[in-house]
Amino acid sequence: MSDLTDPNPNDQEKTQEIALRPKNLTEFVGQERVHKQLSLLLTAAKSRGVPADHVLLAGPPGLGKTTLAMIIAEEMNSPIRITSGPAITHAGDLASILSSLTEGEILFIDEIHRMSRPAEELLYLAMEDFRVDVVVGKGAGATSIPLELPHFTLVGATTRAGLLPSPLRDRFGFTAQLDFYEDSDLSTIVKRSANLLNMEISELAITELGARSRGTPRVANRLLRRVRDYAQVHSNGKVDLKETKEALEMYEVDQVGLDRLDKSVLAAIVKKFNGGPVGLTTLAMAIGEEAETIESIAEPFLVRMGFISRTQRGRVATAAGYEHLGEKPPIHLVTLFDTPASDL
């Protein structure tokens, strides 16, 4: 997959993203429903002088879950402790983190669905009663020591909310489901980032970048940086529509945001398998990619755009998918609306 449209960041991008992130809810663009709900939650908590309720942020990568966690800490004037689910392998790891928290502190756990089961069970009591029972020793001589915790706010982020056990999910006072962004919101984000980067960019170029960003701010900022690089080399740093289109064409990002992998998957289904159905493993072998890469990165966007459909027999290209490749769809083509979805 093209690094440009991969919603997951690398280490260098994490540093660059921090500089471009909004610092408070006023600067945060898009997600209007979540924005209003979160603003109400935080304003009410501040007016009562108590820590905010626990918050679960759910949604695909690159939509601003980590940014919102930092905004919550900023709005509550509280310090934030950041960790991730895979890093908490034992209940003792979590107990150590919880015991060092201060009153009102924000604990942000990214990829919370990947925590170990013993750590999850320890978190149940901590979230509800603000205490943990630490077991010392083994066997018949083991003793349980209750440990009181300060009132803290847990902010969990997950890309797969369905994998969270119900007892954990139910203990969050507010769940924010983040959706993909509208093109207009992405254009606003691109314009703001361009100002922070001191870029000279035209409105048409901003609109073009917003339309090709796959509904994801992280992708929008990444495309903006690559277009800036292209403009610095080819047009003295000024970015207009011409430079933007040329740069994105060079990086193989088409008019709707499809990259090389997306187009390879769609073309394989249409041209090699006559529109499908074709199984995921067979499709992966046909284009030389891992099945997990196709399923987790390329397929969700193609399904969202209506270019392919998932059926009980495999992946099927839709009429829109044929038309996007410039191919004529078959007369009796199965569409998204008469094919039952499946997890195959």
The identity of residue 230, as a single letter, is: Y
Asked whether residue 43 falls in the same domain as residue 173, the answer is: yes
At residue 284, the pLDDT reads: 86
Asked whether residue 155 falls in the same domain as residue 284, the answer is: no
At residue 337, the pLDDT reads: 47
Contact 127, 94 (CB under 8 A): no
pTM above 0.85, yes or no: no
End-of-domain residue from the set 205, 228, 250: 250
Asked whether residue 159 falls in the same domain as residue 187, the answer is: no
Asked whether residue 232 falls in the same domain as residue 310, the answer is: no
Asked whether residue 159 falls in the same domain as residue 193, the answer is: no
Angle at 72 (CA atoms; ends 67, 73), nearest 5 degrees: 100
Asked whether residue 172 falls in the same domain as residue 77, the answer is: yes
Contact 130, 152 (CB under 8 A): yes
Within-domain flag for 147: yes
Write out the two tokens for 152: 């803290």
Within-domain flag for 337: no
What distance in Å separates the CA atoms of residue 317 and residue 324, rounded to the nearest whole number? 11
Q: Do β-strands 238-239 and 308-311 pair in parallel, antiparallel, or remain unpaired?
A: unpaired
Asked whether residue 148 falls in the same domain as residue 212, the answer is: no
Helix axis angle, 65-75 to 32-48, nearest 10°: 30
Contact 79, 73 (CB under 8 A): yes
What distance in Å separates the CA atoms of residue 313 and residue 308, rounded to the nearest whole number? 13
Asked whether residue 165 falls in the same domain as residue 211, the answer is: no
Within-domain flag for 239: yes
At residue 148, the pLDDT reads: 83
At residue 134, the pLDDT reads: 72
Residue with tokens 């984000």: 189
Asked whether residue 128 falls in the same domain as residue 150, the answer is: yes
What distance in Å separates the CA atoms of residue 38 and residue 196, rounded to the nearest whole number? 26
Reported as a single tens digit per residue, the pLDDT across 89-115 is 888 788 888 888 889 899 999 988 888
Within-domain flag for 23: no
Question: Residue 315 is part of which domain span?
Answer: 260-324
Domain count, the chain: 3
End-of-domain residue from the set 160, 177, 194: 177
Contact 158, 113 (CB under 8 A): yes
What distance in Å separates the CA atoms of residue 149 and residue 100, rounded to the nearest whole number? 9
End-of-domain residue from the set 250, 268, 300: 250
Q: Give the residue numbers marked as catalytic.
A: 65-66, 110, 159, 218
Within-domain flag for 329: no
CATH number for 76: 3.40.50.300
What distance in Å separates the CA atoms of residue 333 and residue 342, rounded to the nearest whole number? 18
Asked whether residue 172 falls in the same domain as residue 195, the answer is: no
Contact 327, 270 (CB under 8 A): yes
292-316 burial, b if ≥16 CB within 10 A, otherwise e? ebbebbbbebbbebebbbbbeebbb
Within-domain flag for 2: no
Within-domain flag for 87: yes
What distance in Å separates the CA atoms of residue 187 and residue 320, rounded to the nearest whole number? 25
Within-domain flag for 3: no
Asked whether residue 47 falls in the same domain as residue 173, the answer is: yes
- Residues (pLDDT < 70) of the chain are 1-18, 136-142, 331-344
Helix (H, G, I), strand (E, B) or coil at 63: coil
What distance in Å separates the CA atoms of residue 138 and residue 205, rounded to the nearest whole number? 65
At residue 108, the pLDDT reads: 93
